[in-house]
A and B are shown apart, each in its own frame.
Chain A
Amino acid sequence: AQRVTQPEKLLSVFKGAPVELKCNYSYSGSPELFWYVQYSRQRLQLLLRHISRESIKGFTADLNKGETSFHLKKPFAQEEDSAMYYCAVLGPGTYKYIFGTGTRLKVLA
């Protein structure tokens, strides 16, 4: 079955601490992986896609095909990183994103 799992509903870290938001997926074939972020009362915004291998706002994510994971990491969390983070999969030959349930990141002062 096609599935995206984000095991943590809520993750609280202190400012300056490292953060890792977990994402595991189950998908046959070679899907594309994305991270979207939703700040309070705002729209879903693209944060990262695995094929571009960029670092946005200090966040990185590496696709591990062996572990079927795409964890989002940042070495030093900032208060403005507090938001809802969604991992999403786009399968080959399909148009639909499959989203995880999201992780709310709270960065404490």
Chain B
Amino acid sequence: EPEVTQTPSHQVTQMGQEVILRCVPISNHLYFYWYRQILGQKVEFLVSFYNNEISEKSEIFDDQFSVERPDGSNFTLKIRSTKLEDSAMYFCASSKDSNQPQHFGDGTRLSIL
């Protein structure tokens, strides 16, 4: 069964540095998403992306965050200047359509020092 893949599995970065998290969605899916889960808290929506533009974003997704689909397969989340509170598990997801179930990757654990 096709899966969403995320790299790296764990990223350690100094505060203030830029970080890029990478995702390869399922190949025939058209909608892409990022979520995050701070340790001990719920999974929270960050952003959805369709047709090369953001379709919806949460209040968490401020100017420090950006997403991109640089080629036909990758979907990236960039955090420009990381803060301690950005430490979390970041999940990528994709779906065939907006009303189809979202399929999640294994996540990237981001640790900001």
Contacts and interface: CB of A to CB of B under 8 A. Distances in A.
A97 B102 contact: yes
B47 to A, nearest CB: 9
Q: How large is the interface on B (under 10, 10 to 19, 20 to 34, 35 or more residues)?
A: 20 to 34
A86 B43 contact: yes
A102 B42 contact: yes
A32 B48 CA distance: 17
Interface of B: 3-4, 31, 33, 35, 41-45, 48, 50, 55-56, 58, 91, 98-99, 101-107
A94 interface: yes
A56 to B, nearest CB: 12
A46 interface: yes
A49 B48 CA distance: 20
Given A34-B101, A94-B56, A95-B98, A42 B106 contact: yes
A27 interface: no
Nearest to A4: B42
A34 B100 CA distance: 11
A97 B106 contact: no
Given A43-B107, A100-B42, A95 B91 contact: no
A99 interface: yes
Contacts of A17: none
Interface in A72-109: 86, 90, 94-102
